[in-house]
Chains A and B, each alone.
Chain A
Amino acid sequence: MTQVNSTSSTIVANLQISLHSGSQVFELSVNSEFPSTGITAILGESGSGKTTLLRCIAGLEKSAKGLLKLGETTWLDDKHCVPTYEREIGYVFQDARLFEHLSVQGNLQFAIKRSHEKVQKAFYAEVINALDIGHLMQHKPDQLSGGEKQRVAIARALLVKPKMLIMDEPLASLDNARKQDVLPYLAALQNMFHLPILYVSHSTDEVCRLADHVIVLHQGKVVSQGSINDVFASAQLPHIYKQETSTIIKAKIIEKDERWHLIKAEFDGNTLWLQDHNKAIGKTVRLRIIASDVSLSLQDEKESTILNRLEGRIGGIEIDKKGATALVTIDLTNSEIVAQVTRKSIDDLFLMVGMKIWVQIKSVAILG
């Protein structure tokens, strides 16, 4: 295993860039610190500047101005601009960009020869194993499926021994079945190689599944950032993602009910019943509860088809003044959950901060 010293790989970015294409001008202005651990997702719709931001970090946008540091190393300031080939990053492009004239092995060797650090045989074997590409070594890129290409591209990026891995929508060009070929490898990467990962995506599903931290970009500006749950469980989530507002929690499977095909998951002293998807007891899973799938009731409605009912207290109510809805935060035992309800219901039930309330959860997604 390669252990990367986490404090040495925080990215400090204070970047401005104006890109001109024809009469169009795109401005990106970011002042952020990217966590040095875990997967940080950069979320935004197309045209929000996600890819441009990554390209600035990699040094591929020559007109970027500002300050950029990885740990103690300054990559960009008023006087200097470290060229891409000296920045210790691994970059996975949306379109893989394998070298067509080289075999898979040739592509990997290309990276190994140029790594600033010697690549040990054991590490090489570990990367090939982790991405399951051992059987593809002699193939040329044009003989690979889209998913295989991406796995090779990820392996190639890891083999330059980067201090940070940057991925630009590595799944965007793949169809759904191929996505499933790559997603599990992505989830495992972080655990195996302890590399901070910057991951760009426009898919909230992918982000909720993979990311520990999120930065939301909108029209070239950071509109929200924080831990995955802080961003998604907040009323500050940008308007386009309003329907995606959700509580994201880590839970542990503690019980199986064979008869009803259910499993019981525990988080911070609360429990939920979930459909059994062959998850083993003791396994930690990430759960996503979409706020609009949560309803509130003043008493425990036992005569209901809703299996998951939790008791809590209202911790906060945020009203969307322009719309019909409100986001209610409910304090559970050592935890929180958000519910999206109508403003009318708040009024009808006289809901107020501090009130005791029952939370009814219609569905829970297991993100793996």
Chain B
Amino acid sequence: MGLIDSDINAIWLTIKLAFTVTIILLIIGTPIAVWLAKTKSWLRGPINAIVALPLVLPPTVLGFYLLIAMGPEGPIGELTEQLGLGLLPFTFWGLVIASLFYSLPFVVQPIQNAVEAIGNKPLEAAATLHSKPMDTFFHVILPLARPGFISAAILGFAHTVGEFGIVLMIGGNIPAETKVVSIQIYDQVEALEYAGAHRLSAIMLGFSFIALLLLYSFQRRGIATKFRIGR
């Protein structure tokens, strides 16, 4: 393929970023999704809207606010400095935090939809069988919502891989630290290195297609499993 070192670095960094973000989002996104699916609180609407904001906001807007928040004057920046972590903009972890916000709806919404689809009936049945709420979560909700979790993981990963604007705002392009594939392609095009841009773009195209193919073939089976449980 003729990938150069900086290409490999960028791919490796992108995978590391997407993987980290997906894992963290599954952990913090699940309680948010389950709460949104179950709650009758008036806060449901506002929280739903906040979670969905990154879907409609330009990444530059989100990036701009995060940059300010993580900067020396911002609340996140002050916190990280007090903790001795330094400032986060233009670091890998700064990118992680920005991506957490940016990819949140892609993880929360599939899980929320799956939990809503389960409804209350199996949960009530579990309660009458002496199953406590956490027990029910792990042994009824999780297995029944499995298709939703798999969709969430695929979407969260693929969407993080595909980031550009927010990375540019928060990360800049420091090789092996914040220079992900999409930035590398941008740099190559700017430098008129079309051959290199072609190589990485083809890889991105192939990856995205396969991710979506996986998602849709899985969802198709996922729908089937609703009526025909069993694999």
Contacts and interface: CB of A to CB of B under 8 A. Distances in A.
Given A101-B229, A110-B139, A142-B227, A156 B129 contact: yes
Interface string B121-136: 1101111111111010
Contacts, number: 69
A140 B126 CA distance: 17
Contacts of A157: 128-129
A116 B131 CA distance: 11
A267 interface: no
Interface residues of A, number: 28
B93 to A, nearest CB: 37
Nearest to B135: A114
Nearest to A139: B230
A42 interface: no
Contacts of B143: 101
Interface residues of B, number: 23
B129 A101 contact: no
Contact of B131 (A58, A114, A140): A114
B229 A140 contact: yes
A105 interface: no
A101 B225 CA distance: 9
Contacts of B125: 91, 93, 97-99
Interface string A65-94: 000000000000000000111100111010
DSSP majority for the B interface?
helix
A197 to B, nearest CB: 15
A281 interface: no
A99 B139 CA distance: 10
Contacts of B144: 99-101
Contacts of B229: 100-101, 140-142
Nearest to B130: A114
A93 B121 contact: yes
Nearest to B133: A85
Contact of A85 (B121, B127, B139, B146): B127
Interface in A25-77: 58-60
A111 B228 CA distance: 23
A95 interface: yes
Contacts of A97: 121-122, 124-125
Considering residues A86, A100, A115, A160, which has the most beta carbons from chain B within 10 angstroms of its beta carbon? Answer: A100
Nearest to A162: B128
A38 to B, nearest CB: 22
Interface of A: 58-60, 83-86, 89-91, 93, 95, 97-101, 110-111, 114-116, 140-142, 156-157, 160
